[in-house]
Chains A and B, each alone.
Chain A
């Protein structure tokens, strides 16, 4: 017999928990490909862990040895392109970033991802002397995560303005922006004293300002364009009567406010 559960207040506690949900994970295979075996052999002791994900070699290294590893990949293994380089924020979980370099060997049509973990506040060595594409990629990483890059020729923000505060791709950064971001254009153009005049950003797409007679027309009660708002003149909305239903007559059950 099923256990009796009182159903007085079922919403008090969530009765449903997803106990059997397993986060899907990309299967990791052993390195069996001859080319990838040679690559891992060339890297030698730099490799902390290596496996194949979807036909792509993933190599975990130490954060301080990234330049040496990428140099070996470029000069001995034929990985002549660094197609992407960025980071992932794991600060809340582990207190560190995961940095990755996506390498491409054009002749062999092979890809390697070099991955390392970098503690918060530490800097990474620039690979710009090896790959020119790393110049912008490292600037973007600095812009979006605040990760400093040693020996970068021109480390400066690339997407956000130079006087921006905060690093938008951090998990702690709100999508709608912090206070600095929401007032950025007002502060920059008019000055801080205009914050009161211009007002906060409207992020409600359905917002209607009842006092604004320039951009919105009133339903049921019309006022000329641009007149001052007067709350005393407010009247109820009257609908035109039809033969079947009188919408103006209030029925017995009517909600005062939206639930």
Chain B
């Protein structure tokens, strides 16, 4: 016995939903964004707070994964030192496509107040970034908003990742090159 009576005769009453492949794939991708459990500095504390029960990332389908092979999003939360830059890039390379990057906080965006010899001056020098998140450190609400903006961005993209271009790691002279 059917729970609901289906009126097959009327329009839009059919048990069929029409959509495009892009929308269907992006619906899946954007609603189960799994970030990498990867904290660099004090921004990671805010990232942990976003994941914990008060701000509750889980209700958005955002679940932190302990392996880069299972992760879709890399949240660079904190100061990236030059010693560690190699390993950050390796973790990014180990993530499977499709993958996105959120640069969280002033230090990750531009080097922040660490205008020194030992800090990478903006993670976009080594990793293409999708969302820049200002703040020192950004509040958990800000990180949630960044996640929602990333969802919006994914829904706008093509399902075929080859058609989506990554950010250029640009030069100051205006010469451009695309790195994946």
Taking a contact as CB atoms under 8 Å apart, the answer to whether A199 and B171 are in contact is yes
Residue interface bits A25-44, CB-to-B below 8 A is 1, else 0: 00000000000000000000
With A168-B118, A189-B85: A199-B126 Cβ-Cβ less than 8 Å: no
Q: How far is the CA of A185 from the CA of B111 in the complex (A)?
A: 13
Q: How far is the CB of A82 from chain B (nearest CB, A)?
A: 26
- Count of A-B residue pairs with CB < 8 Å: 75
**CB of B89 within 8 A of chain A?**
yes
Which of A3-11, A14-22, A206-214 is the interface stretch? A206-214
Q: How far is the CB of A197 from chain B (nearest CB, A)?
A: 4
Taking a contact as CB atoms under 8 Å apart, the answer to whether B117 and A199 are in contact is no
Taking a contact as CB atoms under 8 Å apart, the answer to whether A229 and B174 are in contact is yes
Residue from B82, B117, B121 having most chain A Cβ neighbours under 10 A: B117
Taking a contact as CB atoms under 8 Å apart, the answer to whether A186 and B115 are in contact is no
How many residues on chain B are close to A (CB under 8 Å)? 28
Q: How far is the CA of A174 from the CA of B111 in the complex (A)?
A: 17
Contacts of A242 in B (CB 8 A): none
A-side interface size class: 20 to 34
**CB of A184 within 8 A of chain B?**
yes
Q: How far is the CA of A177 from the CA of B167 in the complex (A)?
A: 27
- A-facing residues in B80-97 (Cβ within 8 Å): 82-83, 85-86, 89
- A-facing residues in B92-119 (Cβ within 8 Å): 110-111, 115-118
Selected from A175, A189, A197, A211, the residue in CB contact (under 8 A) with B89 is A189
Q: How far is the CB of A200 from chain B (nearest CB, A)?
A: 6
**CB of A205 within 8 A of chain B?**
yes
**CB of B70 within 8 A of chain A?**
no
Sample of 21 A–B contacts (CB below 8 Å) = A160-B118, A161-B82, A175-B115, A175-B117, A176-B115, A177-B116, A181-B82, A181-B117, A188-B85, A188-B86, A189-B86, A189-B89, A196-B171, A197-B175, A198-B171, A202-B110, A202-B122, A205-B115, A209-B170, A212-B170, A229-B174
